[in-house]
Structure 1
Amino acid sequence: MLSELSTHEKGGTPVSLDVVLRLENLGYKQELSRSRGLFHILFMTLAIMAVPYGLSAPIATSLIGAYTYSAIGMITSMAEEVRDPAIQVPRAMVYSIPIGAISGLVFLLPIVFTLPDIETLLAVPGGQPIGVMFTLIMGSQSGGFGIWFIIFGIGIFCAISICCAASRATWSFARDKAIPFHTTFARISRSNHDGQAEDPSAVPLNAHLLSTAIQLLLGLIYLGSSAAFNAFVGVAVICLGASYAMPIAILLFNGKGRKEMEDARFSLGRWGWVINAVALLWVSFEIVLFSMPAVVPVTQVTMNYASVVFVGFAFISAGWYMINGRYHYAGPPIPSDTDISEKSEEGLGPS
């Protein structure tokens, strides 16, 4: 394992030279400012995870899984902006689960004990009874609006966090030449124009605009067909689960992979293989669960098309790889601790 390097100031932010060298050894250049800490990414995780508590439409069942998976997993796309990602990102992912569970109980238990008549809530036009529910619970429209406004504020924080994480994931794909027009979407916008990685104004603006536009288009689907929208929501959980299951399975069944992770700074210890096995089984169950219809008997309207969308995207991805990916994407090189150690001893910084 690499010895820890002393941190140094870069634009007022302590950044470990070891982190930058590891990134360079993978074939990437530090392009974003490492200005985020544990509290920042933990807040983003909890903000994304909290949104389903403010939803009450039938799609909320799928969205709970989607937002939970997104909150815990998508936050890894922010790793390049975290000061000590090897420790802070896993901590944020782990801490968010008990904090989210406790805060969810604090929010839901009072509602359960004060829940108005179910038939009244189900009869609300538009299928969004949360405003009516809060009004009935509080006994006045002003009180109901006050509680609803809290949910609205959480939604704002969630939207910001989702757009931020999604833009970084999009930018990462573009940097690896994995999406069309990758040159445009891999571009970093800076207000200072000095080309320094520690520039706090450096953001992947084009990738952010692309991911935001896609989110808007997906939102429009619900206006035309709730079944189609539910399919995209459900496939989000399936795709995220499959992407998480693959590295876990490789780590679990590949002895070499487990050996290489023995010196990881954030380790699950001797319980690691048990936790990985449970995670793999749970993801497999979730994929099957989110492929099943929500109600029976199944009709064209109530059919769950998530599996169809998943297979469709798989074919599109495979086709794009055959057309473009295999000619442009080489993958990162196998990291060499020796190379990083030599650079560290020489005191070489990022290019």
Structure 2
Amino acid sequence: MNSPRHDPAHRTLTVVGGGVIGLTCALTAADAGWRVRVLDAGTDERASWVAGGMLGSLGEGIPGEEASLALSVESVRLWPALAKRLDDPRVVTATDSLFVAASATDLEYLRHLADFVWAGGPRSESALQPITGRDIRTLEPSLSSRLVGGYRAIGEWSVDNRRLLEALRATVATAGVEVISARVVSLTDLDDPGPDSQILLAAGLGTTALWPGVELHPAKGEILRLSRTRWSVPPPGHVVRARLHGRAVYLVPRADGVVVGATQYEAEGMTDRTPQAGGVADLLADAIEVLPGLRTYELTEAAAGLRPCTADGLPIVTRVDARTVVATGHGRNGIVLAPGTAERVLSILEGVEE
């Protein structure tokens, strides 16, 4: 579907969705000279409100998901420029990640993962170093002595997802973007500022109701937020991604504690955002096994979000008619894919890419 070339003096963009994807796309368009407004339905509609904020492509290097990995690798390269644009040092919480294993079997799994990323899959900008159990305790003395080895991924960042949303909102405002609290029920309710107006649907799962041809399904994911007390060991300085007897758990540092995640349940028509006791119990047990000092932390939040997923695991970023572009279906990777998605959306808006 061909996209019209727009008059630079009159280009207007309405972004439906105020999550990380919508706001990053809004900022990129505003920086390119578009007049932009964002219609934000609120916190409950944002999958990015319940997230760990890991930016690494290595952890997404799953055999069979080469296309998804390639998108992650490309978007990770754009993240330093986005972080600099936001100009908030509190957003980035770590610049390296540790992939750690609790057994020889778990370590072999990580070795296969590393071989895929570095031999069979797209190359990442990060440096991957094998580490021993002793290395792990040198880098992070509070981690369990039972961890046998793994990898250090230098350059695998993490961000505080909620500070990221705050920083994006502040930066888009400075860039001249108008953010309006509004729930869009139908695209026919949107006013048409003129022939050069465009709409970007970045409303997560809500995109399907606005454009029924977009097929998405929800994946429920639970995360925990733990806060340090005066008796607690400090939070880790790295992202810790552990393989624990065949299960995965991650610990992502925050200024005052850690985020622990994440479960995932998929069911057609799922709308419930209430955390389940079993998921919370499993996450806590695994996290404490990896970092025993978490026992003295306070459990300040157990939350669940609904991630917008597609059948093939790839996001939908495309033009659907002469006025409307869609950017959704990022699943668990919305934050890491945000700058890459924004660049692609801008190319579509400006007629460079279909």
TM-score (norm 2): 0.27
Q: Larger % of helix: which? A: 1
Larger Rg: 1
TM-score (norm 1): 0.27
